[in-house]
């Protein structure tokens, strides 16, 4: 029965939570995971020695009861369960050397689709990182076959990646570091609901797995494994985005990074990936599209992040001209330069920002694109 098989797989998978699961080594040793339990402890360990270190837990009654409770909860709550032995298990993930034994999925996504890109980065994202995440995903939306955006549902760049994917009509997959009974972070509850309608939530962790820091590190291998390439938008010297990038490199997948200023701490990780030749430098959406050989319906798509022009004439054009020569100027400085009351700039500056002609930096200062 399918339920019995799922319980057996969940029993085995649960023995490795919090540590590396040698999924490929185990599945290649047996015709089916069911055979582990048909053979019994002694013969199963003889066939696959790595099972020896988990044998006590694997063949315990309590672990089997927990697995049955997990599977029944998942099925009762409408989750799809895919195991490494199923034909619809994501092919890219199966190619990795440490694939999860099973996945719990909510939503719909064709994981055998032709284009998947992981977009990751720091939780403490700056306006600069947010802006270029937006522009890259907008550019990717012009591809003839739109890529699926994969990220980790965390705050910061992950949240922006999912949000902008939905904004520009791309499906998106969020790989969770918890079970489905615990959504983390809680602030992304509404976003998670939207993702289910235009993609999927995915986790390898059983439904009752809470938020453990180590599990968020482990889920990064799934983010990298599901995608053809990984883009690090913004990262400090250490962070989950860097772990995902190096995993992608280990999986022989392409890695990209947005560069930052040499003295910018929030881009130190991105700059290091580029300097160490782990990642190719990204100067715009065209960098990724061209490197991956993806087609674009926008024949004028630029390689770089060239700014949009302000509407001709009027306060807007004068403000943009001033900011191109005096970046990081506040409203008071702009108003003084143009000889206008600061109040007269509120609407024009907002319109310019919405059009992408200017952007706001820290300290309420503006720069021209």
Distances (CA, A) of 149 to 28, 136, 157, 368: 31, 11, 12, 28
Residue 53 pLDDT class (50, 70, 90 cuts): confident
pLDDT of residue 193 exceeding 50: yes
Pick the CATH number of 116-292 from 3.40.50.450, 3.40.50.740, 3.30.70.20, 3.30.70.560: 3.40.50.450
**Residue 97 DSSP label:** S
- List pLDDT tens digits, range 305-351: 444 555 555 788 888 888 888 888 888 999 888 888 888 887 788 77
pTM across the whole model: 0.81
Count the Cβ atoms, other than its own, within 10 Å of residue 1.
6
Q: Which alpha helices (DSSP H) does the chain contain, by range? A: 2-14, 23-29, 33-39, 41-47, 55-58, 61-76, 91-94, 127-140, 157-167, 189-197, 213-226, 240-250, 268-275, 285-292, 314-325, 331-338, 346-355
* Lowest pLDDT segment from 68-82, 103-117, 119-133, 222-236: 119-133
3 state DSSP class of 155: coil
* pLDDT per position as a tens digit, 152-187: 999 999 999 999 999 999 999 999 999 999 999 999
Residue with tokens 């939905």: 166
Domain positions in the chain = 2-107, 116-292, 314-368
Strand order in the sheet with 148-151: 80-83, 102-107, 199-203, 172-175, 148-151, 116-121, 229-234, 254-257, 280-281
Q: Which residue is it, tokens 């700014």?
A: 307
What does CATH list as the number for 314-368? Answer: 1.10.10.10
């Amino acid at each position: 029965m399918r339920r019995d098989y799922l319980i057996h797989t969940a029993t085995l998978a649960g023995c490795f939570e919090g540590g590396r699961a040698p999924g490929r080594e185990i599945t290649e040793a047996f015709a089916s995971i069911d055979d582990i339990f048909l053979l019994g402890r002694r013969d199963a360990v003889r066939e696959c020695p790595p099972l020896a270190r988990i044998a006590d837990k694997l063949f315990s009654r309590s672990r089997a009861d927990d697995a049955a409770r997990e599977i029944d909860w998942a099925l009762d709550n409408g989750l799809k369960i895919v195991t490494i032995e199923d034909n619809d298990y994501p092919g890219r993930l199966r190619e990795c050397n440490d694939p999860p034994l099973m996945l719990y999925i909510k939503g719909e996504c064709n994981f055998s689709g032709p284009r998947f890109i992981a977009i990751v980065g720091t939780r403490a994202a700056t306006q600069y990182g947010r802006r270029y995440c937006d522009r890259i995903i907008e550019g990717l939306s012009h591809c003839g076959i739109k890529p699926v955006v994969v990220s980790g549902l965390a705050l910061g760049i992950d949240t922006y990646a999912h949000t902008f994917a939905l904004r520009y009509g791309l499906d998106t997959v969020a790989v969770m570091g918890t079970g489905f009974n615990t959504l983390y972070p809680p602030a992304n509850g509404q976003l998670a609901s939207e993702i289910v309608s235009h993609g999927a939530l995915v986790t390898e962790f059983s439904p009752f797995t809470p938020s453990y820091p180590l599990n968020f590190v482990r889920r990064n291998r799934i983010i990298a494994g599901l995608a053809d390439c990984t883009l690090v938008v913004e990262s400090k010297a250490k962070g989950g985005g860097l772990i995902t990038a190096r995993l992608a490199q280990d999986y022989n997948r392409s890695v990209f990074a947005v560069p930052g200023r040499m003295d910018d701490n929030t881009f130190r990780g991105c700059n290091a990936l580029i300097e160490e030749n782990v990642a190719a430098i990204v100067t715009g959406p065209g960098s990724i599209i061209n490197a991956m050989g993806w087609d674009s319906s926008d024949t004028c798509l630029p390689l770089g992040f060239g700014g949009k022009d302000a509407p001709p004439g009027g306060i807007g054009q004068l403000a943009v001209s001033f900011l191109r020569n005096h970046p990081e100027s506040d409203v008071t400085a702009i108003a003084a330069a143009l000889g206008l009351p600061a109040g007269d700039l509120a609407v024009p500056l907002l319109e310019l920002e919405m059009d992408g002609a200017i952007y706001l930096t820290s300290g309420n200062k503006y720069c021209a694109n």
